[in-house]
């Protein structure tokens, strides 16, 4: 009787601890307040663990059946799993990977790199252990101070990966031991998104402004148009990007060296087109854009020859180094001398080109002639361009049966600003009808194997009808006789 009462009370206690065989009291808010859910799961686990040990003693005394003991074991196992799951949920929720710093620098090969330092800033794991009185061995086995499998990549605003390697992995990121990753920038930007995936799939993507490595203490240039071909008499613009890698100086003077003095030049602001002589960087603006405009002379000189390649440097000189730089800038400046002064510079290239421009001048383009005559048209051909002209030729569209001659037929060369006289003779046929005839003159030549054409000229010849000499004499004699007869008749009347 006593044994039956004891068993009844035992199963009644189990039904209170584990209602309906669930193994825990479930509260829907445990998923929202995981720390409280962990505390509840810990209490249920400890209660189930104590009850399981008591069931073991009862089984050894043959007071319960094997089936009853297995049921108690299952309930204990469920409570243990629920406790571990609640503990892992709290630990994973508190895992946090932070970007400590992101520094942009230039490597020896000229490529831009970014050093990204990441730290495990998961908070409170030790406090949870103390607050919940969690067993040390269990807590350590779950590695609460370690974030596993951290994947990192750099993205632009379009979420495209712009880093090499595309993705870096950190196997374990321990609290108090930051890890630095090095990426090559495939796209030069001042701000990037650091995409981080870690733990059980947690993702963070903070956008960070890149710090500049201040160890170089200079301005770095970049230009996509470092080499340009420019015709004499024209101008060109080199677009430049200037990036500051310095923590000491933020004001620089822009200079051009090794460019002949006959080539005018000045710097302009890319946004306002205002002329620049000095450049100032701010904490928020460490990348600026400028343009270098150059103007070539109309004709070749001793320093600027045709088809010549002229290398030169653009230099950013700190204000405190201007006096030292002024001592060398008028001579032949080399990369060695610029490196010795620890200056930021960039080499540009100018290729001088020229083009011929053919002009035909004619003092008269309208003529009145009789059939069978020759019209002489003087023409002056002038090279108004910046390159020699070769093989100046003439094409004339004549009416049917008309003929022409040109002297000289071909002008072999025509130097810059040179002019030569050409005589065009047009023979009017004997039996041509009277009227106006328009004749088109085309002139072309070659300049550096490129065809150069002059503006077409229209020559107008009016053909007059040939006069009848005998008829004209007869009419004149008849008029004179008539006049004479009138005079004689008038005299006779006066005498009467």
- Banded pLDDT at 27 (limits 50, 70, 90): low
The answer on 370 and 345 residing in a single domain is no
Residue 471 has pLDDT above 70, yes or no: no
The answer on 308 and 249 residing in a single domain is yes
Mean of the per-residue pLDDT values of the chain = 81
The answer on 393 and 343 residing in a single domain is no
Q: Could you tell me the CATH number of the domain that includes residue 115?
A: 2.60.40.10
What pLDDT is attached to residue 95?
73
Query: Where does a domain end: 67, 93, 119?
Result: 93
Note the pLDDT tens digit of each residue in 348-358: 999 988 888 89
Of 125, 122, 121, 149, the closest CA to residue 139 belongs to: 125
Inter-residue contact 115 to 212 (CB < 8 Å): no
Domain count, the chain: 4
The answer on 101 and 81 residing in a single domain is no
In this structure, of 236-240, 288-292, 476-480, the range with the lowest mean pLDDT score is: 476-480
Average of per-residue pLDDT across 327-353: 88
More confidently predicted of 278 and 123: 278
What pLDDT is attached to residue 181?
94
In which domain, by residue range, is 415 found? 358-463
Average of per-residue pLDDT across 418-442: 92
Q: Would you report the helix, strand and coil content of the chain in percent, each value rounded to 5?
A: 25, 40, 35
Q: Is residue 132 part of a domain?
A: yes
* C-alpha to C-alpha distance for 139 and 362, rounded to whole angstroms: 104
The answer on 430 and 311 residing in a single domain is no
Average of per-residue pLDDT across 465-481: 71
Q: Is residue 475 part of a domain?
A: no
Residues 6+ positions from 460 with CB-CB distance below 8 Å: 365, 366, 367, 436, 437, 438, 439
Q: Is residue 270 part of a domain?
A: yes
Name the pTM for this structure. Answer: 0.58
- Banded pLDDT at 293 (limits 50, 70, 90): very high
What pLDDT is attached to residue 402?
92
The answer on 334 and 235 residing in a single domain is yes
Query: Where does a domain end: 194, 212, 230?
Result: 212
Give, as one character, the DSSP assignment of residue 210: P
Note the pLDDT tens digit of each residue in 71-116: 888 888 888 788 777 666 666 556 788 899 998 888 877 788 999 9
Note the pLDDT tens digit of each residue in 194-224: 999 987 788 899 999 888 877 777 888 888 8
Q: Is residue 320 part of a domain?
A: yes
The answer on 372 and 309 residing in a single domain is no
Catalogue the E-assigned strands of 319-427. 344-353, 358-361, 366-369, 374-383, 389-397, 403-407, 411-414, 419-427
The answer on 455 and 339 residing in a single domain is no
Q: Report how far apart, in Å, the C-alpha atoms of 72 and of each of 18, 22, 58 are.
A: 10, 12, 11
The answer on 235 and 345 residing in a single domain is yes
Residues 6+ positions from 496 with CB-CB distance below 8 Å: none
The answer on 280 and 253 residing in a single domain is yes
Q: Is residue 382 part of a domain?
A: yes
Query: Where does a domain end: 177, 196, 212?
Result: 212
What pLDDT is attached to residue 141?
52
Residue 408 has pLDDT above 70, yes or no: yes
The answer on 264 and 239 residing in a single domain is yes
The answer on 249 and 188 residing in a single domain is no
CA dihedral over 23, 26, 32, 36, signed as positive or negative: negative
Residue 32 has pLDDT above 60, yes or no: no
């Amino acid at each position: 009787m006593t044994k039956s009462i004891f068993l009844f009370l035992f199963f009644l206690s189990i039904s209170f601890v584990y209602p309906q065989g669930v193994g825990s009291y479930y509260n829907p808010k445990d998923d929202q307040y995981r720390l409280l859910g962990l505390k509840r799961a810990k209490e249920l686990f400890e209660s189930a663990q104590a009850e399981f040990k008591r069931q073991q003693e009862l089984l050894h005394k043959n007071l319960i059946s094997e089936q009853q003991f297995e049921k108690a074991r299952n309930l204990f196992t469920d409570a243990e799993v629920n406790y571990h799951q609640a503990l892992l949920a709290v630990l994973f929720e508190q895992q946090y990977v932070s970007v400590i710093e992101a520094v942009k620098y230039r490597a020896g090969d000229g490529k831009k790199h970014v050093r990204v330092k990441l730290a495990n800033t998961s908070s409170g794991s030790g406090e949870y252990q103390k607050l919940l009185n969690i067993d040390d061995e269990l807590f350590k086995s779950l590695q609460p101070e370690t974030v596993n499998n951290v994947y990192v990549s750099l993205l632009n605003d379009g979420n495209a990966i712009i880093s090499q390697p595309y993705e870096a992995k950190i196997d374990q990121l321990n609290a108090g031991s930051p890890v630095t990753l090095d990426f090559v920038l495939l796209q030069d930007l001042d701000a990037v998104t650091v995409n981080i995936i870690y733990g059980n799939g947690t993702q963070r993507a903070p956008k960070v402004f890149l710090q500049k490595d201040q160890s170089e203490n200079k301005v770095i240039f970049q230009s996509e148009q470092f080499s340009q071909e420019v015709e004499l008499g024209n101008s060109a613009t080199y677009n430049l990007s200037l990036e500051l890698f310095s923590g000491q100086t933020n004001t620089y003077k822009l200079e051009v060296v090794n460019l002949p003095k006959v080539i005018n030049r000045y710097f302009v602001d890319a946004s306002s087109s205002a002329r620049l002589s000095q450049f100032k960087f701010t904490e928020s603006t460490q990348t600026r854009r400028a343009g270098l405009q150059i103007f070539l002379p109309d004709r070749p000189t001793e320093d600027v020859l045709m088809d010549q390649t002229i290398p030169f440097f653009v230099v950013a000189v700190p204000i405190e180094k201007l006096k030292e730089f002024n001592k060398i800038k008028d001579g032949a400046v080399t990369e060695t001398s610029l490196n010795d002064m620890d200056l930021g510079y960039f080499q540009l290239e100018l290729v001088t080109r020229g083009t011929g421009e053919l002009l035909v001048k004619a003092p008269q383009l309208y003529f009145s002639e009789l059939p069978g005559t020759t019209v002489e048209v003087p023409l002056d051909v002038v090279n108004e361009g910046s390159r020699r002209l070769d093989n100046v030729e003439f094409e004339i569209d004549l009416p049917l049966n008309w003929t022409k001659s040109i002297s000289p037929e071909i002008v072999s060369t025509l130097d810059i600003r040179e002019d030569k006289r050409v005589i065009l003779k047009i023979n009017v046929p004997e039996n041509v009808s009277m009227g106006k005839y328009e004749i088109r003159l085309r002139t072309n030549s070659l300049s550096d194997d490129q065809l150069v054409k002059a503006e077409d000229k229209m020559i107008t010849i009016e053909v007059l009808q040939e006069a009848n000499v005998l008829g004209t004499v007869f009419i004149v004699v008849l008029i004179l006789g008539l006049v004479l007869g009138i005079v004689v008749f008038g005299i006779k009347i006066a005498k009467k």
